[in-house]
Structure 1
Amino acid sequence: MKILMFGRGVIATIYGWVLQQAGHDVEFYVRPGRAATYGDAVDLDLFDMRRRVWGRRVAEKWPVRFHGALLPSVVFGTLDQPPTDRERAVRQAFREAGLRIKERPDFRGWLWVHFASDAGMFAQGLRVGSLSQLAGATGDLREALLAGRELLPLLQARGLDLRRHRGGVLPFRTPTWLTAPVLAWLTAHVAPARVSLTAHSDPDAEEPREVCRDTLAEARRLGIPVPRLEAAEPHFARV
């Protein structure tokens, strides 16, 4: 199958590599001028978790330096409609690459939950320097979870039925005296979990700031109080 990946960030790089390993013809579509910036090779350094719970480290050159983890499953979804034949073919390509498929019938809602949880984590990460600083830090992870919990009413205000996303919101509804130490232990001692945070070490990265700005603007538009996100605003507000 010929596959065109839009952009060459972390996600496109991970799945472009794994799909090419499965025998597909993969190309990347990037903005004008970005191709020269990226170069024609990737230095991969990741944990492949498709067949081992603890992951298998992969360090190789693949035709932009990358560190991260390849999880054993990939999320697909629809907007309460069955997938088309073309969408089924894409799912099969990922299965043939050794990945399990997780289906989300309310994919828009799943993305909203994911976006809000990112905003909670990013807000605390920006307060302490970067997301990488949260690894093994019980107190900071507790604040990140509480920031995410404060965003649940925002999701409801946008019309999201949280009952359809119990798994996604569970970490924020569970008491933090339980979840924060567990996350701290995992991100300190389990390599794939640790890398998922430590790979985000750039204190000047723009994506965390954009996520926090967009989320705070939407909360203010809908009149939803988000005190922790507001407290972090000096770290992501445009100067």
Structure 2
Amino acid sequence: MNILIIGLGVIGTTYGYVFSKAGHHVEHYIRKSSKNYNIKDLKVELLDGRVNSKGENVQDNYIVNKTTNQQQYDLIFVSVPSGKIESVLEELNKEKITGPILLGCGIWEKRSYIEEIMKDKEWILGYPVAGGNITDGTLYCCVFNNFMLETKEKTNISNYDDIKELFNQSQIKLEQPYDMLEWIWLHMAINAGVVSVAGRYGDINDVSSSAEGLMNSTKKLAEAVRSIRETSKIVESRGVTLKHYNNELFAYKLPTIISSPIMKRMFATNILTRKIMTLHSNLSDLLYVCQCVYDEGKKNKIEAPIFYNNYEMVQANFNEK
């Protein structure tokens, strides 16, 4: 497939690397005004969980192919904060670049909003199971063996089966939740519950050390579980039936005296899961997720004292610095 990755962010670049290693042609659309425009290649430090569940360390080099004169692609991969999707669409329209679009983003807006801005496009919702950062010319990342993708019945995309085969060739299994957008909301809410606790008891400006502090403490993990119970109620207030996502919420329904030691042991033994927690360093993205969930909870008058208090303290500490 001919694939276009929007930008040179961590998620898009990680999957761009994976797709290219599977034999597909990958290009990046990078604005000329971007600080990344002149980057020609990146060193890759990958913890690869696609074959080995504990992760396999891979060192490689990734050539960054920028868009040429091609205007039609088999897939356009977009992973940006949801507030920037419209600006991406404006760029694609300006450059007359077309093709089915995979939105692999944290989207808090309702489906009607997405349908409106994507009304002239073929598109599908997905969510990556990967993470990392790009520092000093090196892509530090980890990738799991699964990717969340909307069901064929809920999308207007014409080459759904080709996209399934792309992930299959890349040794990535597709998982399809009851409703992709609702699943994204719930995932964002879970992240907000975790981030608010990690930031409250750690240094919000040092995401990695805050994550380490959380994963090493049964007390903090117990509070994160209680916070997630609250943020999941905020998602429920949007009309989501939580029983459709019992698998995702099962661990957080257990008594914290059981769940927090299990989570601590899991983080201690599962290197891949621990790595993705410490590599995510995009502070503005993390705070955006928390703010979306916080505003929704307040608007819908949902009782969530642990989450609200922790996030307010995180914001106060962040604003002081």
TM-score (norm 2): 0.68
Q: Percent identity?
A: 24
User: SS state of the match for residue 8, structure 1?
Assistant: coil
Q: What residue in structure 2 maps to residue 234 of structure 1?
A: 313
Unaligned 5+ residue runs, structure 2? 64-133
Give the conservation status (yes or no) of the 8 Å contact 2:5–2:26. yes
Please report how far the alpha carbon of residue 72 of structure 1 lies from its aligned counterpart in structure 2 after TM superposition: 0.9
Amino acid at match of 1:103: Q
Instruction: Tell me the residue number matched to 2:16.
Output: 16
Change over 3 Å in CA distance of 1:144–1:104 after alignment to 2: same
Aligned residues of 1:79 and 1:108 also touching (Cα < 8 A): no
Residues in 1 aligned to 2:303 and 2:258: alpha-carbon distance in whole angstroms: 25
Higher helix share: 1
Please state if 1:139 is matched with 2:219: yes
Q: For residues 15-164 of structure 1, what are the structure 2 equivalents within 5 Å?
A: 15-36=15-36, 39-63=39-63, 64=134, 65-78=138-151, 81=154, 84-127=157-200, 128-129=202-203, 130=207, 131-164=211-244
Between 101-110 and 61-70, report the one with greater CA deviation.
61-70
Question: CA separation of 1:184/1:34 partners in 2, compared to 1, >3 Å: closer, same or farther?
Answer: farther
Structure 1 regions of 5+ residues with no counterpart? none
2:9 partner letter:
G
Q: 1:10 to 1:183 in 2, by over 3 A?
A: farther
Paired residue for 2:82? none
| Structure 2 residue 256 is the aligned partner of structure 1 residue 183 | no
Paired residues of 1:122 and 1:212 also in contact (CA < 8 A): yes
Q: Provide the secondary structure at the position in 2 that maps to 1:181.
A: helix
Tell me, in whole angstroms, the C-alpha distance in 1 between the residues paired with 2:299 and 2:38. Answer: 38
- SS of the aligned residue for 1:160 comes to coil
**Distance (whole Å) between structure 2 residues aligned to residue 50 and residue 38 of structure 1:** 31
Q: CA deviation at 1:16?
A: 1.0
Whole-angstrom distance in 1 between the partners of 2:256 and 2:231:
15
> How far apart in 2 are the matches of 1:222 and 1:192?
36
Match of 2:291 among 213, 220, 223: 213
| Structure 1 range deviating more: 33-42 or 174-183 | 33-42
**C-alpha distance in 2, partners of 1:79/1:159?**
23
C-alpha contact 1:79 1:107 (8 A) present in aligned 2: no
TM-score between both structures, scaled by the size of structure 1: 0.89
Count of aligned pairs between the two proteins: 237
